[in-house]
Structure 1
Amino acid sequence: MKHLNKIVTAVMLVIGLNSFAQDSKNPWTVSFGVNAIDTRTSATGGNNWLDYHVSHPFQVKQNWNTLPTVSYIGVSKYIGDNFSFGVTGSANRISKFVTFNPTSPDRDARNYVVTNPGDLSYYGLDTFLRYSFQSLIKSKSFEPTASFGAGYSFLGDSSYGTLNTGIGVTYWMTENLGFELASTYKKSFGERAIADMPDAPSFLQHSFGLVFKFGETK
């Protein structure tokens, strides 16, 4: 858990160093909830690029790795023109790792195999630049977003950098309280042992949680 402690400390440090900077209405958000990791995107196989990366995206029971507790926390600040900048820390445990069986006689069968790599601990620290489409769709409740950023992942004994792209939507139940759903593709830049289980896999990370806005200037 030492990496998780470092992540939480870093997130809280960002909040502490910038909590005085309130130059627009509710510029700060804090979010927390559960994350799920799906390594299907790092398996070989598939008929095209899209199939290679995102086929079988909702095989929750078979492919998704989750923890029965709060497993991510994030903070962001609005910087203008619908853009926000933030940082997120997350933790998980990988017990379901997806690979493709190239010896399957029928390639269309997509013979994916799920194995346990040893209950590997996962920790991630990610930064992001997020764009909100809420003003474009003129909605007071729904806020769709797109994001781009970079991060660093710790998986078992491996650690490596990632380039991240994501989409999400927040439903604002009140002016300051919302429920968020988001999916992020994390492209690995570490060395990968494709023949067995990648030491530094790319993966999809989904998050589900609550988000709070604050910092309103009177």
Structure 2
Amino acid sequence: MKHLSKILFATMLVLGVTSATAQDSDNPWAIGIQTNAVDFYPTEDLGGTFSDYFNVGDHWNILPSVSRLTVGRYIGNGFVFELAGSVNRIEDYGDTSVPQMSYYSVDGSFNYSLRALLNDGWFDPYVGVGGGYTSIGDSGDQPISDLDVATLNGKLGFNFWFSDNIALTLESNYKHVFNEDGATHFQHAAGVKFMFGGTDSDGDGVYDKDDECPETPGLPEFNGCPDSDGDGIEDRMDNCPDQAGLAEFDGCPDTDGDGVPDNEDDCPEVAGLKEMNGCPDSDGDGVADNEDDCPNEAGPASNNGCPEEDRDGDGVLDKDDDCPDVAGTVANNGCPEPDVEVIKELNEYSKTVTFEFDSAKITSGSEDALNSIIEIMKEYPQTIFHVGGHTDSVGADAYNMKLSKERAASVEKFLEENGIPAKRITSNGYGEERPISSNSTAAGRKENRRVEISLDKDKEMRDSDNM
């Protein structure tokens, strides 16, 4: 026993830096393997029970082997019920030496752990109360005779947990006997306690109390949570739990090594650009190859990455060309415009358009000419034509202006009613302001009384007005 203090000091040093778990609902069972010492000294003077408590050499009867076994079951709220069986040899009865006697006891107690009051550390003191049965062999004429007695027990003990399942146990029991022969004594015990029976629902070796994933088998290094793909990142933190990946991509792989993880990469097998979600852009036109109908020819996204066509070769791309199959002019959105000869032809027809006397009503004989004008206009569907009305100088200026506008409007109306959209025709009257011949002769005045058709030079502005 001279080395006991050194052993206890070393044990405390180890335990002082270790956190462990005591007996509880997750580890309800515990078995203790102990050696025990019986001390009858207090029976001589109950008032001096603790006066020579630690007089080991004079009073303690020690069986230096495994001489006490305990089985404990956690009940709840810090309580444990424990059964203990002991054997010993009695050679000292207080200060008196006696012939060697056998000692047997069976005890039951309810123990209460005070560990929770100490912040659940490795140090686990407990108190207990219970009863037992003690049998002491015959000693003849010695101070203690053959006894089979019941005892009322009180205890104080300490568990020092140095792992989740193993503790060093030191315990002292006071056993009171209610008989005149006297056999009240202390029984001390020291040994090792093994805790078991913890709940492990998923069978992964990590008890539920410590298992952060108690329903799914996992690994101890991840507190019982799994790492299905074995990439060192537990599943609940792994964006790709079934594919081994990299920590920088939260557990997802980057198969093509382009810096875009596969779960965000639209082209995971081909190295690409981050701005293209991991897909390449071979022609550099800003359209990813997987969406580019012409991946090796630069083209706008509006045309699926292909160059814009100009089928009629008029310098206006088909997407902007109102007449993509007929060469036209840029000014007319890719559609052809009537040239001087066409305008001349239109005006030859317009010269034959006549009106009833002093009226804007078109004569029936003018319809053939107007129909010919309509056919020519239909050949230029994007062109806006202007109908201008003119008079000679006979009559008042205001009257001539009014009549010229009415006659131009009559022609415009006829064209619209016969298939030419209103947005393609404008009209106005100019009275006698624009003569093309002398008003001094009858022949000249006849030429000045006319309707002219020309291109509308202001068509773009009116297009926007009509939208």
TM range (shorter): 0.7 to 0.9
Deviation at 1:189, TM superposition (A): 2.1
- Matched position secondary structure for 2:98: coil
Matches within 5 A, 1:27-42: 27-42=28-43
Q: Which has the bigger relative contact order, CA under 8 A and spacing at least 6?
A: 1
Please list, as runs of the form range in 1=range in 2, the aligned pairs for 1:58-207 lying within 5 A after superposition.
58-98=54-94, 114-156=95-137, 157-192=146-181, 198=182, 201-207=183-189
- Report the count of equivalent residues: 169
1:14-51 CA deviation, whole Å, 9 max, x = no partner? xxxxxxxxx9301001001110011111013x7xx3xx
Secondary structure at the aligned position of 1:136 is classed as helix
Determine the C-alpha separation between the residues in 1 that align with 2:25 and 2:72.
14
Unaligned runs of 5+ in 2: 1-23, 138-145, 201-467
Q: Residues 167-193 of structure 1, C-alpha deviation per residue, up to 9 Å, x if partnerless?
A: 01110010100100010100012341x
Contact 2:151 2:176 in 1 (8 A): yes
The aligned counterpart of 1:17 is none
Shift of 1:140: 2.2
Task: Quote the Cα distance in structure 2 between the aligned partners of 1:82 and 1:115.
Answer: 41
Amino acid in structure 2 at the alignment position of 1:149:
G
- Select the residue among 193, 198, 201 that pairs with 1:216: 198
Matched letter for residue 188 of structure 1: V
Q: Partners of 1:142 and 1:212 in 2: how far apart?
A: 16
SS in 2 for 1:190: coil
Q: Quote the sequence identity (%).
A: 37
Paired residues of 1:127 and 1:149 also in contact (CA < 8 A): yes
Q: Distance in 2 between matches of 1:68 and 1:135?
A: 33
SS at match of 2:49: helix
Matching residue's letter, 2:34: G
Question: C-alpha distance in 1, partners of 2:174/2:25?
Answer: 31
**Distance in 2 separating the partners of 1:70 and 1:54:** 26
Query: Which residue of 1 is the match for residue 379 of structure 2?
Result: none
Deviation at 1:115, TM superposition (A): 2.0
State the SS of the aligned residue for 1:117.
strand
- Structure 1 gap ranges (5+): 1-22, 99-113, 193-197
Counterpart CA distance in 2 for 1:138 and 1:121 is: 43
Separation of aligned partners in 2, 1:191 and 1:152: 17
CA offsets, 1:143-198, max 9 Å, x none? Answer: 00000000000011310000000101110010100100010100012341xxxxx4
| Greater mean alpha carbon deviation, residues 183-192 or residues 208-217 | 183-192
Aligned-partner SS, 2:109: strand
Q: Pairwise CA RMSD of aligned residues?
A: 1.4
Contact 1:38–1:63 under 8 Å retained in 2 = yes
Map of 1:110 onto structure 2: none
Inter-partner Cα distance in structure 1 for 2:106 and 2:173: 13
CA contact (8 A) 1:161 1:190 kept: no
Give the aligned partner of residue 456 of structure 2: none
Q: How far apart in 2 are the matches of 1:152 and 1:214?
A: 27
AA of the residue aligned to 1:39: F
2:50 corresponds to: 54
In 2, the alpha carbon distance for the partners of 1:43 and 1:147 equals 24
Query: After TM superposition, which residue ranges in structure 1, 4 or more long, deviate above 4 angstroms?
Result: none
Structure with the bigger percentage of strand:
1
Q: Give distance in 2, aligned partners of 1:202 and 1:168.
A: 19
How far off its partner does 1:86 sit?
1.3
Query: Counterpart amino acid of 1:179?
Result: L
